[in-house]
Structure 1
């Protein structure tokens, strides 16, 4: 089962990573100024990860595929790692869809 891990950046911002059951990070958030905003971001991932249209499949300048997960307002709420192939990226999307809804929250800032 997946989990969201909340950490604090060096600049004081909060961020979360969605980790799969094997501990691999499958989605990373932007920086949030408050923990409450970070928690709202997690709830947004849980909800939006179940809508195919919210996954924006991209290709980096170096040719590596990745994806962004967007909220209903179009704002990016999470970004994947860079993958070696589009098939790997698509597996990453499937992993977010299966792990996010029931993922627990591990707040490492408390």
Structure 2
């Protein structure tokens, strides 16, 4: 089952990552000072993940495709891993669309 994992980074900030059924991380958040803000970020992912226009398709300096998911206000709420191909990136977006709305939330 897909899941959002909430964890604390080395700097003491809260972050989340969305993991697919196979355990692979498909979306990661920025750091949040408050756990409530992190939880709000997850809800924003759930809400915005179904709107294709909220996905910003990008290319890294090394030429690898990746994407950002943006909120209604234009703020980035999640960033993907780097992919080897555009088709891989599109599969990642499809996975977020499929998994985010019903993924469980766990704290680790």
Same fold, TM exceeding 0.5?
A: yes
The answer for unaligned runs of 5 or more in structure 1 is none
Question: Partner of 1:34 in structure 2?
Answer: 34
C-alpha separation in 2, matches of 1:38 and 1:64 = 28
The answer for unaligned runs of 5 or more in structure 2 is none
Distance apart, 1:107 and its partner CA: 1.2
Which consecutive aligned stretches of 4+ in structure 1 deviate over 4 angstroms post-superposition?
none
Question: Partner of 1:43 in structure 2?
Answer: 43
C-alpha separation in 1, matches of 2:66 and 2:50 = 18
Q: State yes or no: 1:100 paired with 2:94.
A: no
How many residues of Structure 1 are paired with residues of Structure 2 in the alignment? 108
TM-score, normalising length from structure 1?
0.97
TM-score, normalising length from structure 2?
0.99
